[in-house]
Chains A and B, each alone.
Chain A
């Protein structure tokens, strides 16, 4: 009994922690509609700054109350200021860009922050001091329970209360709520939007910084925090209902408690099977998110989001009907690639193989995001399952490579059918997050199913058949298959099926009113996108000779998103350009500069500001204006 109570309290502690980060994220999203991918970085910055500030205030002596709490407050404030600067210098320039484009800018900030932290604080984990006066434990039901954890349990509801007061009892809060519900209306009322956005961003960042700083006595400052925190925070925000702060609190509570109970209950035996619940903590967030979203498509306390009016020109037609000049350029590029082996060194082929495979991967994601209007944050699932499908068919089932490369996409297609069936019942960010949940669940299965998938180590020895094993031969295989696949995808976009998908995106209401079964078409879009991503994955597996769960991890999905957004969502050649630019840049920068992530981040920020509709998107709209 006592153990259940204590685990419940542990759940409350982690819920408070989760809530603090998520509240800021939810606030920012509610007002600016920006998915702040850099929120985890702000949290990480908070904990590092708190570590240093407390150290400076303590000045080598003992950590006094003033030093500790002053340090935390300073850290959170500085992070708030950083947030405001971020909003003013970068995000403000891209509010009018197409949906999700801001994600790209915040992703660049993540890269920058990672290297900045490494440069400023060095590589080692920094474990901060215990809180003065709260360093010990109190007896609860005969077990010692950390005082600081009790303090944190109180902080969560306290912040919730303060935020509620701020939003409901101040003029600023009124404006914020007005802007959350109807941005255009707020603008029409003459509210200074710029100031409102900046202040909301600063407050959100402050909360993230505070969430990080308050963890100082509980966990060391380290470089992975940004990534581990951001995914959890997104999950909490979405499960709670985007923009709803009480919802975020409820979601944090749910996730914190489920996790604590999984750990507390331990192994469970039923029907002769033994299930290790602690192992589930690897994906418990995703499982909770999938379960909640399937039954409550807008999260626990969310409401259907008002559709934002399209920013000017953001959703122009995919009118890139190939002009003769473009067709010539396309033919020239393919011809150029086809003769590359004759003069380029072998490494160029290796790099081009990577670029072609990612171009196909990005194109398949773009098929969902662009013409079908469904953003996916978990597209790596199909890429990865395609890779694993091919590798398993080859290594375990003993199929020849030529057949395995077909089995991969088939497996990916099946997964896309299963996941897509649930996802098309949602829309917008909720849909995107459900794809992420499924991808994470798929990842965790691959990661844990050691006997089949090789667990975290993956599968090695996945090499092409002898006649294709040379770099040149494999290059041609990839060129032909990726080229053909991208061509087919392009053709589908201009086919009646592609038109129907675009119609469903433009106006689901109108589409249904001419007899289109919107969900069914969108479901099939998942199938097409999943299948082609799977082909990319299968080709990837055989080009590397080995695969491990990274191929279906979040990082892979994020890479795909970055490629699509970088190129421009509204164009068909955008993902190709995005894939080429990102892969090439990363390879080049990483080869020459130690702080390559920072440089890559900077380059992306410059690209984002210079091309607020994506590279190709911007170029083609410029061309249109010129004509």
Chain B
């Protein structure tokens, strides 16, 4: 089943074309990496997918629902989770409360004006944190966490909505090398368990080639090649685009 279908989206900022007729598909349970040099249009693409930006042309479908004219919160309620380049969490809450809020949002329980929020969805949040190895920090304030932990909290928040599709913009940026591998391994494991599709961008090619089922290579807003890691690695266009970058030994 196709979970995400992108049909010819284009976007330009004050005359400069940032995305040029981009199309691709994502199957259920598939993990896809979107790579390309800085300025290739990856973040713009993500922001169009989650509704923060409107494409000038083209359409996006999530499980056959056309989402390209929907608001961010509507799209994310359909079963899309997202993490950001710079981790975005609710800094005035504890780690557990961050996850609780996401759980409450997912269940439509936020319009409750009288219950004490910190008693709701507590156990579930704890379980989620346990999965991510964050249980020890559950009662800590988010503003006191290391950046790596913050990224985990963000992942926990994104997963709390039981998404079918997870959009991760540079999930490991700013983390220590060991942390990176652990985090992506965790994501991959969760994806397999939950039939979760993942679309992520990444600069670390070790991670890309270790976890991606398929790779999309963007350059100057255009999709210049896509395919299984081995195919992309062999593609001369990819080598050209990543001139000076190490695509790893074949």
When chains A and B are docked, how far (Å) is the Cα of A510 from the Cα of B143? 15
When chains A and B are docked, how far (Å) is the Cα of A503 from the Cα of B105? 11
0/1 interface trace, chain B 73-95, chain A, CB 8 Å (1 if under): 11011000110100011111110
Min CB gap A521→B, angstroms? 7
A-side binding surface: helix, strand, loop or mixed? helix
Q: Which chain B positions have C-beta within 8 A of A521?
A: 110
Stretch at the interface among B57-65, B111-119, B209-217, B219-227: B111-119
In the complex, whether B18 has a CB less than 8 A from a CB of chain A is no
Q: Does B113 contact A492, Cβ atoms closer than 8 Å? A: yes
In the complex, whether B157 has a CB less than 8 A from a CB of chain A is yes
Q: Which chain B positions have C-beta within 8 A of A316?
A: 92, 141, 143
Q: Which chain B positions have C-beta within 8 A of A491?
A: 113-114
Q: Which residue of B lies closest to A495 (CB)?
A: B113
User: Given A503-B90, A506-B93, A509-B88: A494 and B112 within 8 A (CB)?
Assistant: no
In the complex, whether A497 has a CB less than 8 A from a CB of chain B is yes
Q: Which of A315, A495, A516, A518 is within 8 Å of B92, CB to CB? A: A315
Q: Report the interface size class on chain B.
A: 35 or more
Q: Which residue of B lies closest to A510 (CB)?
A: B88
**Of A321, A494, A499, A500, most B-chain CB atoms within 10 Å:** A499
Q: Does A318 contact B92, Cβ atoms closer than 8 Å? A: yes
Q: Which of A315, A494, A505, A516 is within 8 Å of B110, CB to CB? A: A516
In the complex, whether A267 has a CB less than 8 A from a CB of chain B is no
User: Given A495-B117, A497-B113: A514 and B105 within 8 A (CB)?
Assistant: yes
Q: Does A513 contact B76, Cβ atoms closer than 8 Å? A: yes
Min CB gap A495→B, angstroms? 5
When chains A and B are docked, how far (Å) is the Cα of A565 from the Cα of B104? 32
Q: Which chain B positions have C-beta within 8 A of A496?
A: 101, 104, 109-113, 115, 117, 120
In the complex, whether A223 has a CB less than 8 A from a CB of chain B is no
Min CB gap B150→A, angstroms? 11
In the complex, whether A498 has a CB less than 8 A from a CB of chain B is yes
Q: Which of A319, A499, A516 is within 8 Å of B73, CB to CB? A: A516
Apart from A496-B110, A512-B72, A513-B82, list 15 A-B contacts with CB within 8 A: A316-B143, A494-B117, A495-B115, A496-B113, A497-B112, A499-B101, A499-B104, A510-B84, A514-B101, A514-B106, A514-B158, A514-B161, A515-B74, A515-B76, A521-B110
- Give B88-136 interface residues, CB cut-off 8 Å to A: 88-94, 97, 100-102, 104-106, 109-118, 120
Q: Which chain B positions have C-beta within 8 A of A510?
A: 84, 88-90, 154, 157
In the complex, whether B238 has a CB less than 8 A from a CB of chain A is no
When chains A and B are docked, how far (Å) is the Cα of A518 from the Cα of B74? 11
0/1 interface trace, chain A 475-510, chain B, CB 8 Å (1 if under): 000000000000000011011111110110111011
B residues lining the A interface (CB < 8 Å): 50, 52, 71-74, 76-77, 81-82, 84, 88-94, 97, 100-102, 104-106, 109-118, 120, 141, 143, 154, 157-158, 160-161
Q: Which of A319, A497, A499, A513 is within 8 Å of B88, CB to CB? A: A513
28 examples of A-B residue contacts, CB within 8 angstroms:
A316-B143, A317-B143, A318-B92, A491-B114, A495-B116, A495-B117, A496-B117, A497-B112, A498-B113, A499-B93, A506-B89, A506-B90, A507-B89, A509-B52, A509-B88, A511-B73, A512-B71, A512-B72, A512-B73, A513-B72, A513-B76, A513-B82, A513-B88, A513-B158, A514-B101, A514-B106, A515-B106, A516-B110
**Of A494, A495, A510, A514, most B-chain CB atoms within 10 Å:** A514
Q: Does B101 contact A512, Cβ atoms closer than 8 Å? A: no
Q: Which chain B positions have C-beta within 8 A of A511?
A: 73, 90
- Give A310-327 interface residues, CB cut-off 8 Å to B: 315-319, 321
Q: Which chain B positions have C-beta within 8 A of A587?
A: none
When chains A and B are docked, how far (Å) is the Cα of A443 from the Cα of B72? 37
Q: Which chain A positions have C-beta within 8 A of B114?
A: 491-492, 495
Q: Which chain B positions have C-beta within 8 A of A125?
A: none
When chains A and B are docked, how far (Å) is the Cα of A516 from the Cα of B154? 15
**Of B71, B91, B120, most A-chain CB atoms within 10 Å:** B91
0/1 interface trace, chain A 504-537, chain B, CB 8 Å (1 if under): 0111011111111110010000000000000000
Q: Which chain A positions have C-beta within 8 A of B88?
A: 507, 509-510, 513
Q: Which residue of A lies closest to B100 (CB)?
A: A499
When chains A and B are docked, how far (Å) is the Cα of A499 from the Cα of B116? 10
Q: Does B90 contact A507, Cβ atoms closer than 8 Å? A: yes
Q: Which chain A positions have C-beta within 8 A of B102?
A: 514
Q: Which chain A positions have C-beta within 8 A of B161?
A: 514-515
Q: Which chain B positions have C-beta within 8 A of A499?
A: 93, 97, 100-101, 104, 110, 117
When chains A and B are docked, how far (Å) is the Cα of A515 from the Cα of B114? 21
Q: Does B73 contact A515, Cβ atoms closer than 8 Å? A: yes
When chains A and B are docked, how far (Å) is the Cα of A491 from the Cα of B154? 27
**Shortest 5 CB-CB contacts between residues of A and residues of B:** A515-B77, A510-B88, A506-B90, A512-B72, A317-B92
When chains A and B are docked, how far (Å) is the Cα of A505 from the Cα of B93? 12
Min CB gap A93→B, angstroms? 24
When chains A and B are docked, how far (Å) is the Cα of A513 from the Cα of B111? 17
